[in-house]
Amino acid sequence: MADRPVITSSELTPRSLYLRRREFVAGAVSAGLIGTMAPLASALAAPLQFVKSPLSTSEPPTPRKDVTTYNNFYEFGADKGDPAQNAHTLTTKPWTVKIDGLVGKPADYDLDDLIKDAALEERIYRMRCVEGWSMVIPWVGVPLADILKRVEPQGSAKYVAFETLVRPKEMPGQRGLFQPLPWPYVEGLRLDEAMHPLTILAVGLYGETLLNQNGAPIRLVVPWKYGFKSIKSIVRIRLTEEQPPVSWNLQNPREYGFYSNVNPKVDHPRWSQATERRIGESGLFVKRRETLMFNGYGDQVASLYAGMDLKANY
């Protein structure tokens, strides 16, 4: 990978996208929102260097404004617009990720040290939310497998558990008497899922540093699973022999299983998963799309679940 050419974001990002960025910032300034736009301004000044991955979809990306203003991140509020409004309070430097459990090299890793020798890649992935909407997002990140190999998983390791930051002073959604979820937010994958080439740890999107509302400074991206599996603002990665608990399954096991693979044949108890609405597509005659099995990544990942009942293991 070291001999591949390095391509900067300015070489890959269309001119029209850069113009939309300027319009978005200008509109925020004129509306008096410059205080809440600090993370965006920081990201615009910090382009990343990366190579473009052949694993990317050829579908056009969702407009950047939608990707950065329509989010689920309950630590900053339950409404889709809350993270973009509230996440400017989060401090992301310095950042440490604890990697422990069944590994040969457990440690508290500074994020910069953790990824400094990794080759950043742009992966344009379809992303599907359990609520029935989808996006196409150009992530920048590193394969999770590269990080896990460095810490030397032990032979008994079968699962990878992830944990999000708990910092109520900076995360308003973690304050108050009535919480939507128990904190910290936790997620997990089987080890073979975590080691799959499609699974990445993202540190950027649209060629720039990851914004707070999108899970800065580091988040998981697993494109064949519903979006809530892609845990944000990770502070701990732990390898285990037992299946780890995951937040939404703890909150409502009837509606959310451990695997959470995109499956149009398994309805959520309160709505169908057979179709989806692509964010950024508007107009009177825009139709919902048919949901693809494994979000369209079946050729790459279906073998992981050979012999499993995917209706029982939802």
Q: What is the pLDDT of residue 116?
A: 85
Q: What is the pLDDT of residue 283?
A: 73
Q: What is the pLDDT of residue 117?
A: 82
Q: What is the pLDDT of residue 286?
A: 83
Q: What is the pLDDT of residue 280?
A: 92
Q: What is the pLDDT of residue 256?
A: 95
42-78 per-position pLDDT tens digit? 434 378 999 999 999 999 999 999 999 999 999 999 9
Q: What is the pLDDT of residue 85?
A: 97
Q: Taking the domains of the chain in order of start, what are their residue ranges?
A: 7-305
Report the topology of domain 7-305. Sulfite Oxidase; Chain A, domain 2 (3.90.420)
Q: What is the pLDDT of residue 177?
A: 86
> For residues 102, 103, 104 and 108, what is the CA-based torsion angle, rounded to 10 degrees?
-120
Q: What is the pLDDT of residue 4?
A: 34
Residues in the chain, pLDDT under 70: 1-45, 284
204-247 per-position pLDDT tens digit? 999 999 999 999 999 999 999 999 999 999 999 999 999 999 99
